């Protein structure tokens, strides 16, 4: 992973999106390009900048790796935006607080916005976020995992990539 | 007011579903009042988020939950335990379907062990031999698969299981080999899961998808009462299931006989009165005593059929033991009960406790619940999850909960549900022997897992209190016995105090045994149906 340390969050997201399209045939259908399909809801709920920050944050918490699809590719934020629009609308305030705090921690470090941080720095900032708002962060962590491993009907676990990653072969018909 | 019926059954789960079928088949008109709705199989199967994390099929726990605490005045957050479970088919829709016959000595606790300080041991007023034909009938009608004769403690049976057992998976095979090396006799657990297409029960062959315990079965392979006996009951034209019907009161006539059940209709928000010649309660081990306590009147100021003062007392769970181990190789995902070990089911003389204990495989967690319990995030988190989830296995123990009169369901003086009725409250504390039996069983499970090559990753410590240590097996709150002074229902599950009022869920259990209770509830419901059918004239009053 250190190999990637020089990449910014944005570059990483772009890289995983590209990798997603390159998934070998027979494993899983490539996901639809994410930006166009999903951004509006999350942006409408949280604002354009914060929504982008949330995507980077989720990817920092659940990064892509050799056998790991990571948050972006597995649709974690598509899950979260759908939940925030429905059953989790009461948590919108928690998300706003978390993202504002994240931004201020990042800027206090003097390197600009969270999205533009290199991976190592981003991780440090997220550790500080966890220490500063432990309860809110625990809720976010729960939602990230829900987006990774819930039944795909809820918008996440795209193409069952989360289940696949943890070795769960799904035998239900679509 | 609804049209009068012969028998009104409250609850459509294990006991109520079977009773409805058996009565309708005997030509008796039945109305089943069911608080829940029909489960939506296609929407909920494998949906861990809705079924386990958000639990949207139940009312919110803050408004409908049951407080469980060790002393009557202790504070504790409400739990789901009293809600098990509001659905057509009740708990059988979600259960793991292990389908056991109790052992003759489970029903002769007092005779076998004598008096035990702090526990009110009794013999059941029915023997295993009396229950045997009803077990056989239930195994046929519900559809139980298993390998007759393989369980070293299995009692005499007059017929084999209907279907062969579930096939052995790699983990069971490994565990079985290790157990045999230790001189034990592991065996496939009998389950109400179809191992072939089954025209008799109307169910289909299991697809081994793994989403068993805690989930609706998408493939109609788990033989819950909503897809087996209830459709057959309705087909007779004599039985009707009313859903969204929350029974809140049993009414008496001037002669002190049950006359009607009043329920709140979820669709209209109005109260409806369902008159019946016979009333049978099958709302589960917490809701049945609650309904009796809610139905107090001038004739029964302490609660209906409660002259003994024992309604709600002797609440028993099973203490759930669990040991977790991580293995070298991955195993396919499966929440299906497969392998049992009963060589330690009966205690040895020197053990110092008298609880019966069953050890069972197949109680892993789903991927999401598993992940939520693994702390952390970041680069290492995902790979660790991918490594550990398929390699982690658990064994589960059912440890008998000895009956104590202070362990009880009451009406919670401080908490009303949204309809304005007091919620149940449970006071429950395990007996010293329960805890010792649990700890010893935990150690045995650890030895088994290690013998199979696992690295045990949790502690064997006995639970010191109730929280987290109970199962959804809710037994004993309307104790069966022959003496009206120390029991609520007689040997036919008829209340001593009201001649046309019956209890046919697990509330009647006088002791809990060390085995999951559902097949016994079902066998007993067939037995009670037979009694009601034979006495329909006099019961009709
Ligand atoms: C995850 C899980 C796994 C399990 N695994 C096993 C297993 O492997 N083997 C086993 O033997 N058991 C198992 N059980 C337990 C099993 O589900 C119960 O033992 C069984 O369902 C109890 O039957 P019952 O008839 O007493 O009550 P239930 O099946 O709970 O039925 C009660 C019914 O009454 C309804 N009701 C309640 N109150 C009212 C009211 N006021 N008005 C109208 N209706 C009402 C409820 O909605 C429900 O449908 C499991 C349970 C769970 C949750
Ligand atoms: S394993 Fe079989 S019984 Fe269990 S849920 Fe899947 S198909 Fe149904």
For residue range B266-280, what is the model confidence (pLDDT) as tens digits?
A: 999 999 999 999 999
Instruction: Show the domain range for A79.
Output: 9-31+41-165
Ligand 1 atom closest to residue B291's alpha carbon, by position in its atom list: 41
Alpha helices in B1-94 (DSSP H): 14-25, 41-44, 48, 61-64
Domain assignment present for residue B300? The answer is yes
> What was the pLDDT predicted at B462?
56
> What's the token pair of residue A50?
């914060």
Residue A88 domain-assigned (yes or no): yes
Phi, then psi, of B32 in degrees rounded to 5: -100, 120
CA B103–ligand 2 middle distance (angstroms): 27
From CA B166, how far away is CA B339, in angstroms rounded?
Answer: 10
Cα–Cα distance between A105 and B397 in angstroms, integer? 48
> How many folded domains does chain B comprise?
1
As given in the structure block, the two tokens for residue B475 are 């037994």
The whole-number pLDDT of residue B1 equals 83
User: Rounded distance, CA B327 to CA B387, Å?
Assistant: 10
Instruction: Looking at the CA of B362, name the nearest ligand.
Output: 1
The closest of A164, A60, A162 to B49, measured between CA atoms, is A162
Q: Contact at 8 Å (CB) between B471 and B81?
A: no
Closest residue by Cα to atom 6, ligand 2, is: B209
**Number of structural domains found in chain A:** 1
Say how far apart CA A142 and CA A136 lie, in whole Å.
10
pTM exceeds 0.95: no
Structure tokens at A169: 């072969």
- Indicate if the pLDDT at residue B251 is higher than 60: yes
Contacts of B237 (CB under 8 A, 6+ apart): none
Specify the range with the lowest mean pLDDT, choosing from A17-31, A135-149, B443-457, B497-511: A17-31
Q: Tell me which chain B residue has its CA closest to the CA of residue A2.
A: B379
| B512 domain residue, yes or no | yes
pLDDT at position A173: 58
**Residue A171, domain member (yes or no):** no
Compute the average pLDDT of residues B376-395.
96
Contacts of B112 (CB under 8 A, 6+ apart): B105, B354
Of B49, B209, B378, the CB nearest to A150: B49
For residue B485, tell me if it sits in a domain.
yes
pLDDT digits (tens, 9 = 90+) for B119-172: 999 999 999 999 999 999 999 999 999 999 999 999 999 999 999 999 999 999
Residue B369 is assigned to a structural domain of this protein: no
Q: What is the H or E stretch that residue B523 is in?
A: helix B518-534
- Chain B residue with the nearest C-alpha to that of A173: B218
Of the listed ranges A124-138, B356-370, B507-521, the least confidently predicted one is B356-370
Report whether A102 contacts A114 (CB < 8 A): yes
Answer yes or no: is B326 within a domain: no
Q: Structure tokens of A47?
A: 């604002």
CA distances from B74 to A116, A123, B427 (A): 52, 44, 9
* DSSP summary character for residue B348: P
B282 CB contacts (<8 Å, ≥6 apart)? B9, B10, B11, B12, B13, B14, B15, B16, B19, B288, B503, B504, B505, B525
pLDDT band at B470 (very low <50, low <70, confident <90, very high): confident
Look at residue A3 and tell me whether its pLDDT is greater than 50.
no
Q: Which of residues 115-144 of A touch B (CB under 8 A)?
A: 123, 126, 141-142, 144
Q: Are B86 and B473 in contact (CB under 8 A)?
A: no
Average pLDDT on A129-142 reads 98
Classify residue B526: in a domain, yes or no. yes
CATH number of the domain residue B255 falls in: 3.50.50.60
Task: Round the average pLDDT of chain B to a whole number and report it.
Answer: 95
Element (H, E) at B383: helix B381-388
- Kindly state whether residue A62 falls inside one of the protein's structural domains: yes
Q: How many helices (H) and strands (E) does chain B have?
A: 14, 17
CA B449 to chain A, closest CA, distance in angstroms equals 21
What residue numbers bound the domain in which B211 lies? 5-168+190-317+407-426+474-539
For range B38-46, the mean pLDDT: 79
**Adjacent-strand bridge partners of B456:** B325
Distance B123 CA to ligand 2 centre (A): 37
Nearest to B121 by CA among B318, B464, B355: B355
**Whether the complex's predicted ipTM surpasses the cut of 0.90:** no
Per DSSP, the three-state class of B121 is coil
Q: Which residue's CA is the nearest one to ligand 1's atom 2?
A: B95
Position A91 in a domain: yes
Is residue A146 within 8 Å of residue A33, measured between CB atoms?
A: no
Q: CB B47 to CB A150 under 8 A? A: yes
């Amino acid at each position: 992973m250190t190999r990637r340390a020089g990449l910014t969050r944005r570059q990483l997201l772009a890289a995983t999106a590209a990798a997603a399209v390159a998934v070998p045939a027979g494993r899983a259908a490539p996901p639809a390009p994410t930006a166009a399909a999903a951004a509006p809801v999350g942006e409408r709920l949280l604002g354009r900048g914060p929504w982008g920050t949330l995507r980077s944050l989720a990817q920092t918490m659940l990064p892509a790796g050799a056998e790991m699809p990571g948050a972006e590719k597995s649709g974690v934020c598509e899950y979260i935006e759908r939940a925030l629009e429905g059953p989790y609308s009461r948590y919108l305030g928690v998300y706003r607080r978390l993202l504002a705090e994240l931004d201020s921690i990042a800027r206090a470090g003097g390197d600009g916005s969270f999205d533009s941080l290199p991976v190592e720095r981003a991780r440090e900032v997220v550790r500080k976020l966890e220490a500063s708002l432990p309860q809110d962060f625990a809720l976010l962590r729960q939602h990230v995992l829900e987006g990774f491993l819930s039944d795909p009907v809820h918008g996440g676990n795209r193409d069952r990539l989360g289940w696949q990653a943890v070795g769960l072969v799904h035998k239900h018909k679509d | 007011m609804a049209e009068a019926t012969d028998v009104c059954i409250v609850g459509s789960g294990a006991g109520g579903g079977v009773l409805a079928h058996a009565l309708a088949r005997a030509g008796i008109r039945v109305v089943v009042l069911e608080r829940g709705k029909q489960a939506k199989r296609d929407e909920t199967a494998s949906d861990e988020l809705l079924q386990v994390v958000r639990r949207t099929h139940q009312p919110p726990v803050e408004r409908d939950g049951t407080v469980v605490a060790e002393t009557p005045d202790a504070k504790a957050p409400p739990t789901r335990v009293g809600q098990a479970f509001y659905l057509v088919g009740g708990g059988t829709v979600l259960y793991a379907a292990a389908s056991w016959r109790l052992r003759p000595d489970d029903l002769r606790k007092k005779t076998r062990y004598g008096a035990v300080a702090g526990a009110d041991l009794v013999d059941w007023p029915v023997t295993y031999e009396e229950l045997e034909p009803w077990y056989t009938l239930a195994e046929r009608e519900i559809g139980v698969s298993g390998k007759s004769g393989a369980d070293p403690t299995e009692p005499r049976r007059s017929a084999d299981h209907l279907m062969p057992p579930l096939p052995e998976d790699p983990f069971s095979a490994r565990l079985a080999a290790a157990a045999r090396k230790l001189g034990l006799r592991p065996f496939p657990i009998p389950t109400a899961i179809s191992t072939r297409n089954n025209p008799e029960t109307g169910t289909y062959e299991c697809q081994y998808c793994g989403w068993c315990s805690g989930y609706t079965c998408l493939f109609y392979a788990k033989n819950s009462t909503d897809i087996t006996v209830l459709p057959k009951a309705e087909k007779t034209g004599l039985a009707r299931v009313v859903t969204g019907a929350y029974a809140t009161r049993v009414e008496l006539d001037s002669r002190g006989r049950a006359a009607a059940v009043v329920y709140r209709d979820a669709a209209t928000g109005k109260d409806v009165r369902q008159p019946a010649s016979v009333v049978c309660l099958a709302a589960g081990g917490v809701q049945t005593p609650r309904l009796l306590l809610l139905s107090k009147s001038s004739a029964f100021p302490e609660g209906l059929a409660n002259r003994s003062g024992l309604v709600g007392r002797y609440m028993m769970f099973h203490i759930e033991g669990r040991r977790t181990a991580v293995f070298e190789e991955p195993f396919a995902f499966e929440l299906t009960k497969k392998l049992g070990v009963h060589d330690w089911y009966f205690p040895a003389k020197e053990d110092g406790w008298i609880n019966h204990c069953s050890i069972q495989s197949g109680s892993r967690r789903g991927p999401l619940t598993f992940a939520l319990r693994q702390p952390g995030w970041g680069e290492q988190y995902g790979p660790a999850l991918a490594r550990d989830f398929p390699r982690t296995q658990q064994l589960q123990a059912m440890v008998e909960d000895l009956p104590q009169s202070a362990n009880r369901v009451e009406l919670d003086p401080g908490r009303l549900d949204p309809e304005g009725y007091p919620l149940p409250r449970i006071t429950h504390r395990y007996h010293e022997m329960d805890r010792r039996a649990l700890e010893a069983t935990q150690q045995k499970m650890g030895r088994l897992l290690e013998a199979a090559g696992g690295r045990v990753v949790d502690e064997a410590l006995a639970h010191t209190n109730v929280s987290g240590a109970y199962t959804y097996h809710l037994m004993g709150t309307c104790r069966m016995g022959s003496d009206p002074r120390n029991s609520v229902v007689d040997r036919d599950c008829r209340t001593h105090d009201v001649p046309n009022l019956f209890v046919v869920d697990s509330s009647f259990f006088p002791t809990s045994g060390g085995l999951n209770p559902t097949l016994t509830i079902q066998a007993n419901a067939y037995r009670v149906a037979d009694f009601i059918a034979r006495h329909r004239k006099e019961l009709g009053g």
